[in-house]
């Protein structure tokens, strides 16, 4: 699944408060050329949303903001194919690995990155990227950790996309600008599809 994430280069980070909107969201993502979603455990509708999106065979769905082993298990049962956590929790990583799920733990310090490597992790989430120095910090961290790849989220936008995706150590980024909560809540398929297509085009124009 990590190969699929890196192939798309952008992971829409979805906050959905009504699972009834999931079908329209899935349609918009696919139509916009970005058939991937990280559904965050920030609302009570997360599991139902993952379940609905996972029914599609043309969409890769994962769970984000995963804070516990219980959430890993609930996400897996719902059909999530990858797990994203804001921080590094060894139990979350190990349970995800045991279930055959790719996992991206959040790491922003050298110590956290070293702990992740001991758990067999070579691709980490860098969150919140904007608050921890963004692309400049990642470039500095990539010097001693040349075997680690970073997927930054938090503060990533079209305006700074090239700063991130232009680095060889950054195979993909995560963001919510192409899936605004207001558009999801309104079932505004056209807006989401348009923003996804715009993001895809921008990423395609960026060379390493």
What is the pTM assigned to this prediction? 0.96
Average per-residue pLDDT in the chain?
Answer: 96
* SS3 (DSSP) at 20: helix
Q: Which pLDDT score, from 0 to 100, does residue 1 have?
A: 66
The whole-angstrom separation of Cα 38 and Cα 56 is 14
**How would you classify the pairing of strands 36-40 and 60-64?**
parallel
Catalytic-labelled residue, pool 23, 27, 38, 77: 38
Asked if residue 47 has pLDDT above 70, the reply is yes
Give the side-chain half-sphere CA count within 13 A for 85: 29
Query: What average pLDDT does this structure show over 32-50?
Result: 97
Q: Which pLDDT score, from 0 to 100, does residue 18 have?
A: 96
Catalytic-labelled residue, pool 27, 112, 125, 168: 125
* pLDDT tens sequence across 151-165: 999 999 999 999 999
Q: Which pLDDT score, from 0 to 100, does residue 85 have?
A: 98
* pLDDT tens sequence across 112-142: 999 999 999 999 999 999 999 999 999 999 9
* SS3 (DSSP) at 12: strand
Q: What topology is assigned to 2-202 in CATH?
A: TIM Barrel (3.20.20)
Q: Name the H helices within the chain.
A: 2-8, 22-31, 46-54, 69-78, 90-98, 110-118, 134-142, 161-165, 181-186, 189-204
Given pLDDT bands bounded at 50, 70 and 90, which one contains residue 5? Answer: confident
Q: Is 38 an active-site residue?
A: yes
Given pLDDT bands bounded at 50, 70 and 90, which one contains residue 62? Answer: very high
The whole-angstrom separation of Cα 43 and Cα 159 is 28
Q: Which pLDDT score, from 0 to 100, does residue 74 have?
A: 98
Given pLDDT bands bounded at 50, 70 and 90, which one contains residue 10? Answer: very high
């Amino acid at each position: 699944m990590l190969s699929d994430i890196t192939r798309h280069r952008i992971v829409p980070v979805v906050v959905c408060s009504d699972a009834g909107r999931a079908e329209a969201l899935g349609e918009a993502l696919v139509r916009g050329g970005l058939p991937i979603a990280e559904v965050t455990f920030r609302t009570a509708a997360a599991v139902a949303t993952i379940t609905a999106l996972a029914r599609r065979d043309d969409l890769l769905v994962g769970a984000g903001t995963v804070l516990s082993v219980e959430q890993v298990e609930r996400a897996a049962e719902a059909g999530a194919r990858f797990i994203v956590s804001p921080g590094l929790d060894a139990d979350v990583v190990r349970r995800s690995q045991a279930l055959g799920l790719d996992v991206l733990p959040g790491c922003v310090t050298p110590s956290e990155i070293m702990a992740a490597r001991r758990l067999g992790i070579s691709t980490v989430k860098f969150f919140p990227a904007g608050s921890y120095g963004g692309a400049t910090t990642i470039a500095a961290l990539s010097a001693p950790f040349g075997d680690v790849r970073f997927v930054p989220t938090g503060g990533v936008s079209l305006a700074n996309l090239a700063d991130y995706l232009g680095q060889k150590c950054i195979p993909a980024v995560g963001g919510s600008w192409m899936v605004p909560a207001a558009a999801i809540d309104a079932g505004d398929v056209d807006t989401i599809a348009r923003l996804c297509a715009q993001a895809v085009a921008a990423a395609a124009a960026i060379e390493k």
